[in-house]
Amino acid sequence: MIPHSKTTLTKEDSSAVSRVINSGYISQGEAVARFESKLAKYIGVKGGAAVSSGTAAIHLSLIALGVKEGDDVAMPTYVCPALLNAINYVGAKPLLIDINPDTYNISTANLKKKLTKKTRAVIVPHIFGLPADIEEILSIGIPVIEDCAQSVGAAYKGKKVGSFGHCAIFSFYATKVMTTGEGGMVVSNSDKILEKIRDLREYDHKPNYIVRYNYKMTDMQAAIGISQLKRLDSFISRRKDIASFYTKKFSELGITVPSNQEKEHIYFRYVIKKSGQWSVVSGQKLEDDLKFFEANGVKCMRPIFKPIHRYLKLKGFLEADRAWNELISIPIYPSLTDGDVKKIVRVTEKWREAKVE
């Protein structure tokens, strides 16, 4: 079985962790500071603040931007619940936005239509590794948190994503583009935002009391992050090579493939679209298509398990519903062998040619 996602770890990563363990200092320390500095330099911003997860990064970013109870925070509905959780942590209200059907990123037109007088921030994921229309969103004039959990290393008009917004968050979960196992970071050009997040991520040895959190990253995690960052460009290069092969083969089969939009897509996810004209089984349930792939040795998934509006039992998100019903995420990660990639193409071709009995 070819798994849907898999970490790319090497002896370099293991050695980096061993050096930290042998130093005797394993909690937040010098390695975390170096990781913050190196990632900020790579993205092209002033600094970074490492934390325990991407969710923690969003949570602290909202606080640092002054979002409070009763405020609205705009976010796309076609995302995982981490964004919703962070908004709820600060007592704000999610303002759900539909997606652009060509890119699956947040719809700028729908965002402009739904903004309220209470909207204090907008979270903009660069979904699947494809940059969103960040400059147009910034022109609206509302503070922007870039969500780069799936897009570290991607670029928009020659600049790295994460360098445009008031701040940007990254996730380094095990299956992300680069990993620290668990962990996240906020980067920004604002000293005020970074200082606030560094203050809030740890609660002890403070001259005053306010609610603070235990959101620190360990030096062991940071050591993996530094090691992974050295190889990030090679990770992305391999993802792009696999994506190029997929696109060529799938286009020949008449399968709708990801949009590039003349932007630097890094292919955290490679999604194909299920056409309404053909399906593996009658009823056209996506779950049955996923079972077909699994039965043939390739684990595929919905790229988003469930849109937020479906959790909240809301309606009126046509494009997100369409994406949820039509998109299949196939394996794409650096450790796939050429043989794995060819097998995935063969199984996809078999899926495409299957007829409804």
DSSP line for 278-314: --SSTT--HHHHHHHHHHTTB--B-SSSS-HHHHTT-
Extract the tokens encoding 215.
Answer: 């959101």
Residue 217 to residue 116: CA distance in whole angstroms? 36
Indicate the class that CATH gives domain 232-353. Answer: alpha beta
Task: Give the list of residues 6+ apart from residue 285 with CB closer than 8 angstroms, or none.
Answer: none
Q: Is the dihedral of CA 141, 144, 150, 152 positive or negative?
A: positive
Predicted pLDDT of residue 256: 84
Confidence of residue 281 (pLDDT cuts 50, 70, 90): very low
Helix, coil or strand: residue 99: strand
Q: Tell me if the domain spanning 11-230 has CATH number 3.40.50.150.
A: no
Token pair 């299957």 is at which residue? 354
Higher-pLDDT residue of 279, 30:
30
Helix, coil or strand: residue 334: coil
Confidence of residue 26 (pLDDT cuts 50, 70, 90): very high
- Mean pLDDT within 326-341: 97
- Mean pLDDT within 282-286: 65
In the 3-class helix/strand/coil scheme, how is 78-95 assigned residue by residue?
Answer: CCCCHHHHHHHHCCCEEE
Summary mean pLDDT of the chain: 95
Domain boundaries along the sequence of the chain: 11-230, 232-353
Pick from 97, 90, 144, 137: nearest CA to 121: 144
Residue 330 to residue 289: CA distance in whole angstroms? 12
Helix, coil or strand: residue 72: strand
Exposed/middle/buried for 322, CB within 10 Å: 0-12, 13-18, 19+? middle
pLDDT exceeds cutoff 50 at 152: yes
Higher-pLDDT residue of 349, 280:
349
Which amino acid is it at 103?
Answer: T
- Mean pLDDT within 100-106: 95
Chain Cα centroid distance, residue 175? 10
The proportion of the chain whose per-residue pLDDT surpasses 70, expressed as a percent, equals: 95
pLDDT exceeds cutoff 50 at 282: no
Asked if residues 171 and 57 have their Cβ atoms less than 8 Å apart, the reply is: yes
Q: Containing H/E element for 103?
A: none
Asked if residues 137 and 165 have their Cβ atoms less than 8 Å apart, the reply is: no
Asked if residues 156 and 25 have their Cβ atoms less than 8 Å apart, the reply is: no
- Mean pLDDT within 198-219: 98
Confidence of residue 137 (pLDDT cuts 50, 70, 90): very high
